[in-house]
Amino acid sequence: MTDPVLDPVLAAIHRRRVTRAMTAEPVEREQVETILDAARWAPTAGNRHLQRYVATTDPGTLRVLRMVSPGMIAKPAAAIAVCVDHDLVAQYGFPPQNRGPWIDVGTATATILLAAQAVGLGAGPVSSFSRAAAGVVLDLPDGWTAELIICLGHPAPDQPRPIKPARLTWRDLTQWVPPQSSE
């Protein structure tokens, strides 16, 4: 097994945490652009890139976005909405219930969270928001829906405790088929 201390990717995965409290310090546009550039490298179904991104560092936009996002506990200095371009999904012939675009949202989100860590920012995904209202606030093009919003900012020194602080191991989360002996 690879030692996470020796592998920088595994080390970043081990260090990354959801940031639930952020300072008011601004986030540099260059940091957001670096994160967005990393997001374009996220794995996608058939390399189709059905996801799109909307980014903002505008305090007024962020304030209104928080009003329509009960899950946005942090007061971010920047946010990236991971969207699905449904017109593009239809052009590729995917039926509306196809799960592929949402898997792409997940891989993009994981990449964004790690990229934020790499540029020294805290990040936290938000799924509890009004999609219709977020579409208006973010001026989304027709056919795009925001599926997840990622808050970005500088972590505050005091973070709220996680709901369940216990650390699970991969063994707690995994079932082998057929069952394997644990050596």
Residue 32 pLDDT greater than 90, yes or no = yes
Contacts of 53 (CB under 8 A, 6+ apart): 36, 39, 80, 81, 82, 83, 108
Give residue 16's pLDDT band: very low, low, confident or very high (50, 70, 90): confident
Given a contact cutoff of 8 angstroms between Cβ atoms, the answer to whether 169 and 39 are in contact is no
Tell me the domain boundaries of the chain: 16-153
CATH architecture of 16-153: 3-Layer(aba) Sandwich (3.40)
Residue 88's pLDDT is what?
A: 92
User: Residue 19 phi/psi, 5° resolution?
Assistant: -95, 120
Largest CA-CA distance found in the chain, in angstroms, rounded: 57
* Across 64-77, average pLDDT: 95
Residue 5's pLDDT is what?
A: 66
Residue 183 pLDDT greater than 60, yes or no = no
Which has more pLDDT, 100 or 34?
34
The string of pLDDT tens digits covering residues 106-150 is 999 999 999 999 999 999 999 999 999 999 999 999 999 999 999
Q: Is the dihedral of CA 16, 22, 25, 26 positive or negative?
A: positive
Q: Token pair of 30, please? A: 């260059």
b vs e for 122-146, b when ≥16 Cβ sit within 10 Å of the residue's Cβ?
A: bbbbbeebeeeebbebbebeeebbb
For the chain, give the mean pLDDT.
Answer: 91
